[in-house]
Amino acid sequence: MNTPNNSFLIFTRDQLARQAIESLLAQRLYLSFEIESGKLSSERIRKSRFTHILLDQADISLSDVSFIRKNQKDAEIILITPNSEPSELHHFSHFGVDGFLKKPVADEEFISAVSRVKEFQGNPDIWWFNADDRTLVKEDITIPLTGTESLMLTQLVLSDRRVLSKNDLILRIDKDPEQYSGLEMCLSRLQKKFKTAANGERLVRSVRNRGYCLAQRIRVAY
């Protein structure tokens, strides 16, 4: 039966992946699905509603993912990727990706990826960051942020790199690395604020000789 609960959009230029997914969807009686192989239609993303959106990592950018998430707040977004290294995929989660499906696409992996996303949506480990409200929220916990803290967290969350160097982070908050000496103090205050609210957990981790990265799973709230 064709219901809104089985509404898929798949975007990939990979013919083998496209054929495999199309076959799997047909076998599983997901009768409502669309497969795009050309340019991703912004109008379709704005006007249509999908329960699942599968995107090929080779054919989309982080800004594409962010745009889709902003316009498809309830969709389960799954990234089709040849990469199985979690650290290389971590930053996609911050832009709105809910799960990952490894190439070549196989039956068991496909069903597993779609099922995992359903569990993810109610995941109590996810923090939601709202830059406009300057808040970090999880369940009944709300952490207010200063302007600098919010700007700094924005850079860490939206960066396409897992680790940002000290100089990069300073530049991204519109400061001069040669003049600004308050980064560590600001990070320390933010870390203390987060630990107090989150039972001693860390928000940011220092990576020796490289810079800083997030220690929590954070999604952007639009």
End position of a domain, from candidates 102, 120, 138: 120
For residue 178, what is the domain's CATH number?
Answer: 1.10.10.10
pLDDT: which is higher, 208 or 220: 208
Average pLDDT over residues 185-195: 94
Contacts of 84 by beta carbon, 8 Å cutoff, 6+ apart: 102
pLDDT tens, 122-173?
556 788 888 888 999 888 899 999 999 998 998 888 776 778 899 999 998 8
* In a shared domain, residues 87 and 169: no
* In a shared domain, residues 104 and 155: no
pLDDT tens, 68-118?
988 888 888 888 888 756 555 667 777 888 888 877 766 556 655 655 444
* In a shared domain, residues 115 and 44: yes
Structural domain of 162: 126-220
3-class secondary structure, 9: strand
Q: How confident is the model at residue 31 (pLDDT cuts 50, 70, 90)?
A: very low
pTM of the model: 0.52
Structural domain tally of the chain?
A: 2
End position of a domain, from candidates 120, 148, 166: 120
End position of a domain, from candidates 94, 120, 146: 120
* In a shared domain, residues 150 and 109: no
CB 143 within 8 A of CB 127: no
Q: How confident is the model at residue 37 (pLDDT cuts 50, 70, 90)?
A: low
Give me the pLDDT at residue 172, please.
87
Q: How confident is the model at residue 2 (pLDDT cuts 50, 70, 90)?
A: very low
pLDDT: which is higher, 19 or 29: 19
Task: Look at strands 7-11 and 217-220 and give their pairing.
Answer: unpaired
- Alpha-carbon distance 115 to 94, whole Å? 20
pLDDT tens, 211-222?
998 888 887 765
Give me the pLDDT at residue 106, please.
65
